[in-house]
Amino acid sequence: MRPVRALAVPVLALAGALLTAALSGCASATPPGVSVQQSPSPSGPSFQTRASELASGWLGSPLQQAWEAGYVPLEETTHEPAGVFHSGADKAAYEAGQFRVTVPLPYGPATQTVRFDHGATRTLPALGADQALHTGSLGHCPTASCPTWLTVTAVRATSERVRTSRGEATVPAWAFRIQGYQGEFVYAAVKPEAYLGLAPGQEPTPPAVLPGYQGASLISVSGDGRTLTLGAATGCGKLPPSGLVYETKDVVVIGATDKPAPTTPGTVCAADEHLVRLQVHLGDVLDGRTVLDVATGHPEAALG
């Protein structure tokens, strides 16, 4: 038996599980070699159909190629010192990219190399220090006004450790000192690769909404590789969700039910939507198969 590959989850993946799914399609028979688990439901086959479409479209797709051979971070690549910010005005200035620079900002090399722990490398166009410093800038003030500016007093080339779709990697970075703050503000010196096959500025088309289902995040994989723990949304006015899973030899697609609970007229629900953990059991060990979220079609990876 081959070992189960340990994966890592993006920082924002759990938040994504709070969005209800968009699914489409009609009933179809389960193809040979495919295992499906789902709670009994009149519209149950719709999960199967959507999952089948995702599984069949994964192999050879630009998404698969970038996920398996590119540089796709699974966590933030910008790191601030502990305890930031001193004030709301400083935070707003930071988000707006309002920096006064008192030292020369180096351009650095034209390319930088990401080095993965398993030995592979990925050479990409580099970000100069000024570009990196403004990577996360909104380009405008997030509040009514931004009267404060942050003063950059030093910059140096460094590196940082990043969890990626290909495992842990060492990534070139720039470290900045900002007046009044202890510690450094660290920014990656390369951009993550766009792995959705979209032109810059293009947004993915959301799937068609089908009531009754939602996406799920992958929280963990059991030691024997046969049980997945998922995160799904629930709250007032919803029935407890059930985990859903669809398997092929190459892909595992996950999701959850999203059903309204019977309520009496006039019931008022607080905005208490939250994540719950669910478990689904696989017919075979995960064994390196890619896990896809049925709502987005994007790969999921377990925390840790």
Model pLDDT, residue 194:
63
Q: pLDDT tier at 23 (50, 70, 90 boundaries)?
A: very low
The segment with the largest mean pLDDT, out of 21-35, 38-52, 65-79, is 65-79
In this model, does residue 73 exceed pLDDT 70? yes
Q: Which of 17, 14, 15, 11 is nearest to 256 (CA)?
A: 17
| Mean model confidence pLDDT for the chain | 81
What is the structure's pLDDT at 288?
A: 86
Burial of residue 215 (number of CB atoms within 10 Å: 0-12, 13-18, 19+): buried
pLDDT higher than 50, residue 147: yes
Mean pLDDT (whole number) for 225-254: 94
pLDDT given at position 145: 82
CA distances for 256 relative to 48, 196, 218, 226, angstroms: 12, 24, 11, 18
Model confidence band, residue 3 (pLDDT cutoffs 50, 70, 90) = very low
* CA count, 13 A, side-chain hemisphere, 249: 3
Let me know: does 191 contact 127? Beta carbons within 8 Å: yes
Multiple choice CATH, 78-188, 1.20.1510, 2.40.128, 2.60.40, 3.40.50? 2.40.128
| Average of per-residue pLDDT across 142-148 | 87
SS (H, E, C) 53-100: HHHHHHCCCHHHHHHHHCCCECCCCEECCCCCCCCHHHHHHHHHCCEE
| Residue 268 predicted with pLDDT over 70 | yes
Least confident of 30-44, 115-129, 154-168, 248-262: 30-44
Tokens for 101, please give them: 């620079």
Q: How confident is the model at residue 260 (pLDDT cuts 50, 70, 90)?
A: confident
Where exactly are the structural domains of the chain? 13-70+207-263+270-300, 78-188
* Residue recorded with tokens 């930071």: 94
pLDDT of 36 > 70? The answer is: no
Q: Is 243 helix (H, G, I), strand (E, B) or coil?
A: strand
| pLDDT class of 271 with cuts at 50, 70, 90 | low
Residue 112 is predicted with a pLDDT of 97
User: Is 93 in contact with 136 (CB distance < 8 Å)?
Assistant: no
What is the mean pLDDT of the segment spanning 54-83? Answer: 91
Rg of the chain in Å (alpha carbons): 22
Grade residue 24 by pLDDT with cuts at 50, 70 and 90. Answer: very low
Cβ neighbours of residue 84 closer than 8 Å, sequence gap 6 or more: 90, 91, 94, 181
pLDDT > 70? residue 239: yes
Evaluate if residue 35 carries a pLDDT over 80: no
User: What confidence score (pLDDT) does residue 294 get?
Assistant: 92
Out of 30-44, 54-68, 102-116, give the one with best mean pLDDT.
102-116
Strand ranges inside the chain, DSSP E: 35-37, 78-79, 99-101, 111-116, 121-125, 150-164, 167-178, 185-188, 212-214, 217-221, 227-234, 243-247, 251-258, 274-281, 290-293, 299-300
